[in-house]
Structure 1
Amino acid sequence: MKQLSRAAVLWQLAAFFATLAPHLSWLPFWLIALAIITPGIRLMIYSGRWPLPHWSVKLVLVLAVIGGLLLTFTRETGMAATVSLLIAGLALKMIEIYHRRDALVLLYVSLFVSGTAFLFHQSILMALYALFNLVLIIAALNSIYQDPLRNDWLRPLKRSLRLLGFALPLMLVLFIVFPRIGPLWSVPMNQNAARSGLSDQMAPGDISRLTRSNDLAFRATFDGAVPPPQQRYWRSMVYGNYDGRTWSRVSRGDQFRLADVELISDATPLAYEVVFEASNNPWLVALDQPSAAPAGSFLTKGNAPLRYRPVDRRISYQSSALLDYRLQPDLTDFDREIYLQLPEGSDPRSRELAERWRQESGTDDAAIVRRAFELFNAEFTYTLTPPQLSGDRVDAFLFDSRQGFCGHFAGALTFLLRSAGIPARVVAGYQGGEWNEREAYLTVRQYDAHAWVEYWQQDEGWIRVDPTAAVAPERVSQQADQLFADDPAFLADTPMARLQFGNAWMLDIRRQIDALNFSWNRWVLNYQGQQMQLLKDLLGEVNLTRLALLFIVPFVLVMALVAWIQLGGRRRPRDPLERALERLLDGFAKRGYRRESRESIQAFSKRMASDFPSMAGELRALANCDEAVRYAARPDGRKALLAAIKACYRALKTIKAPA
């Protein structure tokens, strides 16, 4: 029969909501509401209270959903819009499911949508949840082939678990044997949301907005001593151009004319590994200063790591850093011109202040830096919500608002130094991070984004200075989450994340889960490099024949097990009622009384009652119950019939079989 049972409908609803759950964090509110309302409509239709919707109602709903998707998403939102379209289709399909083929469409698309959850979450908990979701979907698929008059809730679940049990060994073999290859195509995620948080240009206030996000930027482990918080400067972007409003990277043409960076150091490089989150951008992070470029990337003229292609998925790379160094001790005339560039006529008050400092300090460039730090320390405020600046922005910051975040201070100091004739540039990246002692790694999130300054000195090269430390030195020595915990602007975009602060046990749980995810991500990412060694350990010699056997042997064993179970299932009925009846008939057969092939249970019971008078009552009850199940279709008939069969079997056991 093609009509669906009540159990099948409820299994479909469970599979639908389980598929939807991982996407609730990013789906638009109206689509979540649609996904909640349509299952309710589905239940009303199934119960007979509402009729199936007219085609005109369906058309209006489809047009409304299309309009909502067009208004909510743009061309740049990429995969998020595609997944939303699939979820909207699932929600609308809920209201027109009546026959089996409709349910099959819903569940097949649910299988696909459940896989899309990995586009947004790749934690070990997501992997376990996806397995749970798969169990529900397969159970729902089993339930739609169930007799509509038979509401067996657990049988579809048992079958689903059995099928996955057969698949797990093959899945493990495929994971071990098959090489990791890149996708045949690449579908971009939200291009507007540069999830690394950093951009190739910076305006005052840009970095402060990153403190509103709790998103993970990267994690790092160290081969040697962990650098103290004051040395955890993660370099990502170097800004050399300023147009009066925005700092940006040096243009591509000028990059080729800049001199190669010379890094001099007698220190031992500190090796480390970074697990970097997807950002849709090509820039990476490196501990200041990087001594070599990670694999698949290169170091720019500003000694920042840049990848050859955007980071569209989580990656792992190794690098090393020199914490004591001299960077580019000689500066060419062209380099000097680039890092002294300022827009003509902008910010006259700041230029005048820098020129006065130059006259008072002579040739002592470090004295000018100290004067700027003294100014910031005495009269400025560090805040996550700086006021908007207009006109000459550096003048407005230095002489009017005097409130800012790290980007304000870094941009203003670079402008002052250039005005005083000192080559300077803004460096953006991350500073600090949270140390997790469970797995010995550093976690850096978007709210750890930071900007600082490098100025050049003859024979010393580029010197790192952090003007934020002059105003709020605790920003460098403390974790950002501890420093900003009481600021209402901190994590404003993710308010639920604030619940972990000030609550020791929630913080500890988060760190345990984070450590588990880090171990999982690192193991999965590094497995490709370890795969060949593992295969050598298993096979001794890796060749095509042995790899084929490694796959074929488990496959044959699993299929043989499936065949044995299926054939065994035919010999012995799986239904409890049929098994009990078969056992009773076997008992009579051992005593020389066999049921004829065309003999009904009622006729057999009456015949046995004459030969076993002590069982006449039990056999009469068995005949009546069998008749009620076959013709009256009472809801409790199966239970009564099973009880009658068991009663007959107990009575039969008291009668000895003939010798």
Structure 2
Amino acid sequence: MKGRQISRTAVVWQLLAVMLVVLPHVQWLPLWVPALVVLAIGSRLMIHSGRWSFPHWSVKALLVIASSGGLILSFNHQAGPETMVALLVVGLALKLLEVYHRRDALVVLFVSLFVAATAFLFSESVWIAGYILLTTVLVLAALNSIQQSSSARRFRDNLKSAGRLLLPAIPFMLVLFFLFPRLEPFWSVTIDSGQAKTGLSDELSPGDVSKLAQSDELAFRATFEGEVPLPAQRYWRSLVLSEFDGRRWTRPSHEQRQVLRPEQLQPLVSAQRYEVIMEASGRPWLVALDQPLRAGQGTLMTPVRTLVMDRPLERRRQYPVESVLQYRQQPLLTRQEARHYLQLPAGGNPDSRALAQRLLTQADGNTDGVITLLQAYFNKTFVYTLEPGRLGRDSVDQFLFETREGYCEHFASATAFVLRSAGIPSRIVTGYQGGEWNPYEGYLQVRQYDAHAWVEYWQPEAGWQRLDPTAAVAPERIRTSAQDYFSTNEGFSSAGMGLGIDWLRDLRQRYDAFNYSWHRWVLNYQGQQVQLLDDWLGGEDRWRRLLAWLLPTMLVFGTVGYWLLRPRPTLPRDPMARALMRLQQRFATLESGREPAESLAMWLQRVADDWPKQRALMLRLAFLDDQQRYIERKDPHQQAEMKRLCRILMRQLPRKKR
């Protein structure tokens, strides 16, 4: 039983490994779970120092019962991925209280590796990848430590051994990454870490979009094959809202969707091709430049030409899109469709209804005239602001005739209401407008403060036309990016996040470009891999691909196999003996090697005359060797001095004879 006991150094490694693998999960775990881990580590340190004894079985049973109840209460009886990871963390914490034998330590460290891998369920950033790599090295070092004797205390040697174990895996990883195709996972999980996700909702009421404008979280990135659209053309379509209850705009109900035909699109210019990497939003809708031509693999095109998925977007997604910026869309409406896009509540907002009739009369019933008059009305005294104040029951009336202050959703909602009151079919589109160009990697980055709402109105034969009432009040918001507008407009300083500072903005762009490269070339490498292999191989021939897989694999296997199996000189296990042997090997390369019949002291005294600058160090080392060799009990202080002298001589002596 004594031979199975792990060393005190190994215990410290176990505690360090557990602490590091749990750390990435602290931000979402219930507070009591990290507290339990800290309590377990502290208790094990007290046991390690000899101040406490191992807990009685009754104490451990009580902790298991209490922790099980805490998990049930914290996760509301839901057995999701978060619950399973929390259960593993709790198990690690409790297992620390009985780590004594190698078997217990193996269980802790194997579970630690699994918990470390689960960190990628919650974050895929490059920093997490680097952190988990470091954690893996330390867990391997801890695994190495449990194989040592109880008197071993070699922290540095454990790290070296872990590094040697990981080093051969790097070429294998590169071959698999570049050459072997990525397989779609046969499983998927939905993660709800408790962190709020920002994004567009499926309804619109006053204040919804302006809340997003306060957030600088990344929404998506887009890379274009050809010319990048101008800022005024960057309308990223996401949702179409066409039902109004007097305050909120929502998507059409299931019954209403049955009467809406898939809208026909006639492109007037060539298609714009680009690729979108969209961040997780927890919602199923995607974005595309107005208007997308077709849905890609894994996405659906709705009748109103928006892209959706069959499940919420819980992980970052990369997808190609083709869009046209000039088009004719749905030139004919059926009676049912026209009735749907003219729907208004039976009562409410009487002043706005009267305004619509006045504008219709002044424009002699002309749609373009009504729109021109309404935009002129907005341009007189209205203010574009993030803090318009609360609106009452008749929100459109209060906005148009009292506050006259609002954000894009206020202007879009009022415009659609007035147009419908004037007999003009209309609807609201929500998405994003603009985006900032990142010159370091050549892509467009769109953040939550780029969220926008605009209006589409219908005209016979011309079909649906885009109308952005924000352009009448704050045209700079449309002509430039939201970031530029926020950074120069005092009223939006809170949304600008300090982005008016040039060096801070440049630093942020560089950091974002670095993350973009990681996401595209590591996390979403499938599309780039196919193109890269075609460029390397000069085609998609099956035999070329087979050779491209076999030859590098054989080369890597052969190189790593030789490196692992090649004969090596056997070094003594004792650190002092290893240091002396390395010193003798260095002198042998300088043609001052030790003769078989010479003692270490005699040899050092002989070669000292050839090295006058190192003479004193050599004579001191010879003296200490004599002292240690002929005494019954070794002096640790003299041994430490001998190792220090060996290191100094190794640094000062040349590697080859001059």
Normalised by the length of structure 2, the TM-score is 0.81
Unpaired runs of 5+ residues, structure 2, are: 600-620, 648-658
Q: 1:308 Cα shift?
A: 4.6
CA pair 645-370 structure 1, distance change in 2 beyond 3 A: closer
Query: Secondary structure in 2 aligned to 1:628?
Result: coil
Tell me the equivalent position of 1:325: 327
Q: 1:222 Cα shift?
A: 1.7
Tell me the equivalent position of 2:125: 123
Tell me the distance in 1 between the aligned counterparts of 2:89 and 2:226.
Answer: 48
Tell me the distance in 2 between the aligned counterparts of 1:261 and 1:553.
Answer: 56
Tell me the equivalent position of 2:151: 149
Q: 1:111 Cα shift?
A: 1.5
Tell me the equivalent position of 2:530: 529
Query: Secondary structure in 2 aligned to 1:208?
Result: helix
CA pair 11-373 structure 1, distance change in 2 beyond 3 A: farther
CA pair 382-528 structure 1, distance change in 2 beyond 3 A: same
Tell me the equivalent position of 1:462: 464
CA pair 635-580 structure 1, distance change in 2 beyond 3 A: closer
- Aligned AA (1:362): D
Tell me the distance in 2 between the aligned counterparts of 1:531 and 1:223.
Answer: 16
Query: Given that residues 359 and 374 in structure 2 are in contact (C-alpha distance below 8 angstroms), is that contact kept between their aligned partners in structure 1?
Result: no
Tell me the distance in 1 between the aligned counterparts of 2:27 and 2:381.
Answer: 42
Tell me the distance in 2 between the aligned counterparts of 1:324 and 1:432.
Answer: 17
Tell me the equivalent position of 1:651: none
CA pair 560-228 structure 1, distance change in 2 beyond 3 A: same
CA deviation digits over 1:360-385, x for unaligned, max 9?
33312223323433443444443334
CA pair 35-418 structure 1, distance change in 2 beyond 3 A: farther
Query: Secondary structure in 2 aligned to 1:422?
Result: coil
CA deviation digits over 1:51-80, x for unaligned, max 9?
444556555655665566556555789544
Matched ranges for 1:394-413 at <5 A: 394-413=396-415
Query: Secondary structure in 2 aligned to 1:149?
Result: coil
Moved more, 379-388 or 575-584: 575-584
Q: 1:462 Cα shift?
A: 1.3
Tell me the equivalent position of 1:591: 597
Pairing partner for 1:514 from 512, 515, 519: 512
Query: Given that residues 452 and 465 in structure 1 are in contact (C-alpha distance below 8 angstroms), is that contact kept between their aligned partners in structure 2?
Result: yes
Matched ranges for 1:328-407 at <5 A: 328-407=330-409
- Aligned AA (1:515): A
Q: Does 1:215 align with 2:217?
A: yes
Tell me the distance in 1 between the aligned counterparts of 2:380 and 2:453.
Answer: 21
Tell me the distance in 2 between the aligned counterparts of 1:467 and 1:174.
Answer: 52
Q: 1:530 Cα shift?
A: 3.0
Query: Given that residues 28 and 195 in structure 2 are in contact (C-alpha distance below 8 angstroms), is that contact kept between their aligned partners in structure 1?
Result: no
Query: Given that residues 265 and 326 in structure 1 are in contact (C-alpha distance below 8 angstroms), is that contact kept between their aligned partners in structure 2?
Result: yes
CA pair 387-642 structure 1, distance change in 2 beyond 3 A: closer
Tell me the equivalent position of 1:604: none
Query: Given that residues 296 and 320 in structure 2 are in contact (C-alpha distance below 8 angstroms), is that contact kept between their aligned partners in structure 1?
Result: yes
Q: 1:454 Cα shift?
A: 0.6
Query: Given that residues 384 and 490 in structure 1 are in contact (C-alpha distance below 8 angstroms), is that contact kept between their aligned partners in structure 2?
Result: no
Tell me the distance in 1 between the aligned counterparts of 2:485 and 2:83.
Answer: 37
Query: Given that residues 218 and 446 in structure 2 are in contact (C-alpha distance below 8 angstroms), is that contact kept between their aligned partners in structure 1?
Result: yes
- Aligned AA (1:307): M
Matched ranges for 1:37-76 at <5 A: 38-54=40-56, 58=60, 69=71, 73=75
CA pair 435-81 structure 1, distance change in 2 beyond 3 A: farther
CA pair 433-644 structure 1, distance change in 2 beyond 3 A: closer
- Aligned AA (2:572): P
CA pair 183-194 structure 1, distance change in 2 beyond 3 A: farther
Tell me the equivalent position of 1:227: 229
Tell me the distance in 2 between the aligned counterparts of 1:71 and 1:381.
Answer: 49
Tell me the equivalent position of 1:568: 568
CA deviation digits over 1:122-180, x for unaligned, max 9?
23343333322222221222223233322212111111111111111122222234321
Moved more, 284-293 or 439-448: 284-293
CA pair 562-195 structure 1, distance change in 2 beyond 3 A: same
Q: 1:234 Cα shift?
A: 0.3
CA deviation digits over 1:442-480, x for unaligned, max 9?
111222211111111122221111223333333323433
Tell me the distance in 2 between the aligned counterparts of 1:222 and 1:271.
Answer: 6
Unpaired runs of 5+ residues, structure 1, are: 492-496, 594-614, 647-659
Query: Secondary structure in 2 aligned to 1:541?
Result: helix
Q: Percent identity between the aligned chains? A: 46
Q: Does 1:421 align with 2:415?
A: no
Query: Given that residues 26 and 34 in structure 2 are in contact (C-alpha distance below 8 angstroms), is that contact kept between their aligned partners in structure 1?
Result: yes
Pairing partner for 2:435 from 412, 433, 436: 433
Q: Does 1:558 align with 2:560?
A: yes
Aligned length: 611
Tell me the distance in 1 between the aligned counterparts of 2:260 and 2:271.
Answer: 26
Query: Secondary structure in 2 aligned to 1:455?
Result: strand
CA pair 461-639 structure 1, distance change in 2 beyond 3 A: same
Q: 1:518 Cα shift?
A: 1.4
